[in-house]
Amino acid sequence: MERGVFSSRLAFVLAASGSAVGLGNIWGFPTNATENGGAAFLLMYLILAFLLAYPALMAELIIGRHTRSNMVNALTEISSNKTIKYFGRGVGIAGMVTAGLILSFYAIVAGWMIAHMLEPITKSFSTELSGWLVSNDLSRNIVLCGCFSLFTALIISKGVENGIEKWSTRLMPALFVLMALLIIYVLFQKGAIEGLKHYLVPDFNQLSDSNLIVNAMGQAFFSMSLGVGTMLIYGSYIRSDENLPEVGILVTLADTGVAFLAGLLILPALFVAQEYGVSIYNDVGNLIAGPNLIFQVLPALFESMGTSGLLIAFIFFLLMSIAAITSSISMLEVPVSYVVEEFKVKRQNATYIISSIIFSISVIICLNFESLFSFVITLTTERAQPLLG
């Protein structure tokens, strides 16, 4: 069965950067920074990204290009004896399952992004629809998660050049432009400088905190899509004449660069929100982080900005939606490539079978949100990925 290949270095770098640059950068990094000493976390993240995540990235790219195979078969092939082959196969299967589990909660969050992107548009003609989009309604979560999952499946079903490459080369430039525009706009607002100070002035006392190190390591591996086979699969689609260390550096720089830029956007926006009368501290005096930051504080800021806030809200959540889709296509490719190559199933059929299974898991998480959502995130991003990487 003929395998796909990226047509150029630029195509690969944009696709791999798209995989790496996801919600883990734009959402996860600034909120992690707020909880772990600002620039102290930034420093630790950068150190771990280049000392640990970059070598892991290179290992995945090298294995992928050498074996020209899916994650499970690749790790089996490079193993030297029968026992190690079984171990390699087990690691490959674990990585593939982890990718699927990550995508199962990722699609839910992406659905929220789409909802908040559409909400400013619907305000002008349907307050009922607008209210439903920003509610925590079960039907909203499932419907929009399903829409996102279907869009991801449609891209993957087209293959490497007509699917992954085509959409990555369209969406990634748009992401960079939107982020630059938002940063420029936010930095000229009153209160933004205070946010920059909070972000860029380090609390070095926290560098010895074990939680900071664990969180920074998890952030580096998760945001760079490591440990679950996405980069290994993309590496298997690289042309044989490409310089892997160079493209690896480009992907790492893009990933850490967007994470840094996300901090320049999110944290100043927090303090701009404070200038508009929005509460940005929780009950114990810490900056609001996590979902409450993205889905409560920032929407409250956009709401208080009047008509211009509607446009800014649309652009911001469009940016978040783009970041989500570029990462999700790489995660779905991991199990799809395995099914296609191992069981000789047509790509389109494999895509929709795997997507249906992952969407079913998403629905189960939605139905048991309080007990499963945080558990799956912790299990996959803070435990499984660093171990598998």
Q: What domains are defined for the chain?
A: 9-388 (1.10.4160.10)
**Which pLDDT score is estimated for 105?**
97
Instruction: Write down the pTM of the prediction.
Output: 0.92
Comparing CA positions, the residue from 251, 192, 259 lying closest to residue 226 is: 251
Query: How far apart are alpha carbons 236 and 60 in whole angstroms?
Result: 9
Secondary structure, 3-state, the chain = CCCCCCCCHHHHHHHHHHHHCCHHHHHHHHHHHHHCCEHHHHHHHHHHHHHHHHHHHHHHHHHHHHHCCCHHHHHHHCCCCHHHHHHHHHHHHHHHHHHHHHHHHHHHHHHHHHHHHHHHHHCCCCHHHHHHHCCCCHHHHHHHHHHHHHHHHHHHCCHHHHHHHHHHHHHHHHHHHHHHHHHHHHHCCCCHHHHHHHHHCECHHHHHCHHHHHHHHHHHHHHCCCCCCHHHHHHHCCCCCCCHHHHHHHHHHHHHHHHHHHHHHHHHHHHHHHHCCCCCECCCCCECCCHHHHHHHHHHHHHHCCHHHHHHHHHHHHHHHHHHHHHHHHHHHHHHHHHHHHHCCCHHHHHHHHHHHHHHHHHHHHHCHHHHHHHHHHHHHHHHHHHHC
How many Cα atoms are found within 13 Å in the side-chain-facing hemisphere of 233? 31
**In angstroms, how far is the first alpha carbon of the chain from the final one?**
29
One pLDDT digit (tens) per residue for the chain, 389 residues: 568 999 999 999 999 999 988 887 787 788 778 778 778 888 889 999 999 889 989 999 999 999 999 999 999 999 888 899 999 999 999 999 999 999 999 999 999 999 999 999 998 888 899 999 999 999 999 999 999 999 999 999 999 999 999 999 999 999 999 999 999 999 999 999 999 988 888 777 777 778 888 888 878 877 787 778 999 999 999 999 999 999 999 999 998 998 899 999 998 999 999 999 999 888 887 778 777 888 999 999 999 998 999 999 999 999 999 999 999 999 999 999 999 999 999 999 999 999 999 999 999 999 999 999 999 998 987 788 767 76
Q: Which amino acid is at 1?
A: M
Residue corresponding to tokens 């598998």: 388
Do 133 and 113 touch, CB atoms closer than 8 A? no
Token representation of residue 282: 């929780």
Do 325 and 152 touch, CB atoms closer than 8 A? yes
**Which pLDDT score is estimated for 27?**
75
Residue corresponding to tokens 């664990």: 214
**Which tens digits make up the pLDDT trace of 318-349?**
999 999 999 999 999 999 999 999 999 999 99
**Which pLDDT score is estimated for 1?**
57
**Which tens digits make up the pLDDT trace of 196-216?**
988 888 777 777 778 888 888
Token representation of residue 170: 């369209």
Q: Is the dihedral of CA 16, 18, 21, 23 positive or negative?
A: negative
Q: Is the dihedral of CA 343, 57, 380, 145 positive or negative?
A: negative
**Which pLDDT score is estimated for 230?**
93
